[in-house]
A and B are shown apart, each in its own frame.
Chain A
Amino acid sequence: MRLSRRQFLQSAALGAGALAVPQLLHRNAWAQARPIRLGGTLPLTGPFADTGVWVERGYRYWAEQTNQRGGLLGRPVEVIVLDDASSVDRAVSLLERLITVDRVDLVLGGYPGTAAAAQMALVERYRKVYISMGGHMASFRRGFKYSFGGPPLMGQWWYEGAWRWLANIPRGQRPTRAAAITVNNPVGMSVRESMLDGLKRLEIPLVMDELYDLPLASAEPLVSRARALGADMFLANGFFPDGVLTIRAMKALDYNPKVILQGVGSLIPEWVTQLGPDGDYVVSGTAIHHKLPFPGIAELNQAAQERWKLKWAPQYFLFGYAWAQLLQQAVEGAKSLNHAVLVRYMREATFKTIAGELRFDEKGLPAPYEYTTQVINGEVELIWPPGRRSAQPVYPKPPWRR
């Protein structure tokens, strides 16, 4: 049958239109699909802001990536982060607002541990899944069903790798006496638990065990005492400002322990960028690292280079991304935004995240991690477990560079 020209043109137009419609529908569908809203609070101003802004960047970068790859359950994701100004009270009331007024579909974890702990109590009452750093072990012993540490910043696990590494050192070369200073807050107290446990296992006596309150005015008295007691292992279970004072005091007093364990101070980029070579060789723990071979880390490192001119993705950027990623995998795996369904799924499934493979127990915790880091030549390297090493550990600590 010969088509008239008009008929031909008409059918061609119809055909083209028919082909285009799914494209148009798809684009329209995407643009018009109600976004999945994830809401949370972070300290974007105030004393904890230096970490808070990185967690936010992690969340937002995850959202960007997810949207580029087609969204979550076919819908675009939208991240809402409110500034709690480093106030726990605000963190809780703003989160309550996000849940009850803005009716966000999913909740994002807060920072620091005190805010996360208070928010864990809130989300348990509202029955919302909450993936965050947690408030250390005490918060995970409350029987909360809805909170998960994915991964958690668990002080009690912090030095686990370090103890195993030290156990591998021949007994004659190990430290013989330990001195410790611990910041008097939840982070410090949890890290101290890890310390006490490990020192007992390695049979290293603890000759000094001091707690201090922030702000630390001067570290010299503490360091001088450690030196006088002949401690060849020093644990600075604290944050950045006190860590800086402690390192400088050690250098000024010419105190040279064989190994320095630093709490969480060396976890932020400033330890390397601001403190400089004096901060080298401190050993710390971590739950996540930019040199781990898990899928996704390479892209995050690249993003850090392109956007912020940093060599590696900062720790808290990775944490933020990891927590959001975990939420995403739970939602995709359970194919649901229903929190009761998500909770069940989270306890059954195995997740492959940038923090490795995670499986959650009834407390909402994954298996304890045992990564250990050491700052070597201005780089935060992984020194334990041996299979994940990115550099050889340096032990004992070389004398101070003058």
Chain B
Amino acid sequence: MLVQTLQALATGLLTGSVYALLGAGFSLIWGVAHVINVAHAALAVGAAYAVYALATRGVDPLASLAMVVPLFFLLGVGFHEAVIRPAARRAGDLVLVSMVLTFGLAAALENALAAVWGPGPRVVNVAYTGQAIRLGVLALPVPHVAGAGLAAVTITALYLFLHKTFPGKAVRAVWQNRDGAALCAVNLRQVTSLTYGLAIASAGVAGVALALIYSFSPATHLMWLVFVFLVVIVGGVGSLVGAVVAGMLVGALTNLATLVIPFAWAPFLLFASLGVLLLWRPTGLFRR
């Protein structure tokens, strides 16, 4: 029983960290730019397909990061310049407008992926799929560890960037007080573009991580999006630490719940606990 608990906990934390990664970028955009990027998970799926395409040509998913990260960074910047800025200029309620806008984009991306790849599911197989690292009685599947590793590295990098570098601090300044930052000669446009680039790049990395663990199809993004919302709301908008904690919490809770209650009730328990948590702390665990 103890072994099972530990096993469930371990796997839950590993998958949870990947949710955290997916949620971190989403949270960043929301916190800094007040944009709810509903297309975030769809972009991650796009990255997953890129990984698949390269994997079928013998490129390891981790190696494909070299292409995914810069590409998605540029995508993020481009997204901000070409879509968000024009929208922000005209819209009163950017949060709502951005939700609708990115909702449309997510649908378009889903259809585009389906047009290119077909609607069927894809699976990425690598040498270490199905292998596990043994820690005593525990078995940690290697793809999960790899995914969690990616998440850890990326989130740490983001955190260090935000706290230790000047541009990063500018991002935080903008987020804390937009006007105040502008008054301090922070270039809002550049900072927001940078934030977008980072956030979408992290979505790309999350896509790589998710591709290692799960099968996916164009329609998968909706399922991942639910996890993103949960993680961000519970963790607190804009908080990286919050996203990490919330992600782990979601992952662990889903798995542990099954030890106590029938697995079928696990989603309900998850939703109920998170709902209750939200009511106790309305702005999330780590709202800055």
Contact = CB atoms under 8 A, between A and B. Distances in A.
In-complex A–B contact (CB below 8 Å): yes
Interface of A: 44-47, 49-50, 52-53, 86, 181, 184, 210-215, 217-218, 220-222, 224-225, 228, 240-241, 244-245, 248-249, 251-254, 268-270, 274-276, 278, 400, 402
A64 B113 CA distance: 29
Contacts of A210: 258, 262-264
B82 to A, nearest CB: 26
B267 A213 contact: yes
A251 B131 CA distance: 7
B104 to A, nearest CB: 16
Given A50-B119, A222-B263, 15 more contacts: A46-B119, A49-B114, A50-B217, A53-B119, A211-B263, A213-B266, A218-B251, A224-B7, A241-B214, A248-B143, A252-B142, A254-B132, A269-B120, A274-B121, A402-B131
Interface of B: 3-4, 7-8, 11-12, 15, 111, 114, 118-123, 125, 129-132, 139, 141-143, 213-215, 217, 219-220, 223, 251, 254-255, 258-259, 262-264, 266-267
A248 B124 CA distance: 12
A44 B115 CA distance: 11
A44 B123 CA distance: 21
A44 to B, nearest CB: 8
A249 B121 contact: no
Contacts of B255: 217-218, 220-221
Contacts of A253: 7, 132, 139, 141
B8 to A, nearest CB: 4
B181 to A, nearest CB: 39
A228 B3 contact: yes
A244 B123 contact: yes
A245 B142 CA distance: 13
Contacts of B132: 252-254
Q: Which 10 A-B pairs have the closest CB atoms?
A: A49-B119, A251-B130, A211-B264, A50-B120, A252-B141, A252-B132, A274-B123, A220-B11, A221-B8, A210-B263
A384 to B, nearest CB: 27
Contact of A45 (B3, B114, B263): B114
Given A50-B121, A218-B15, A249 B131 contact: no
A184 B263 CA distance: 10
A253 B4 CA distance: 12
Contact of A275 (B123, B131, B143, B220): B123
Nearest to A243: B215
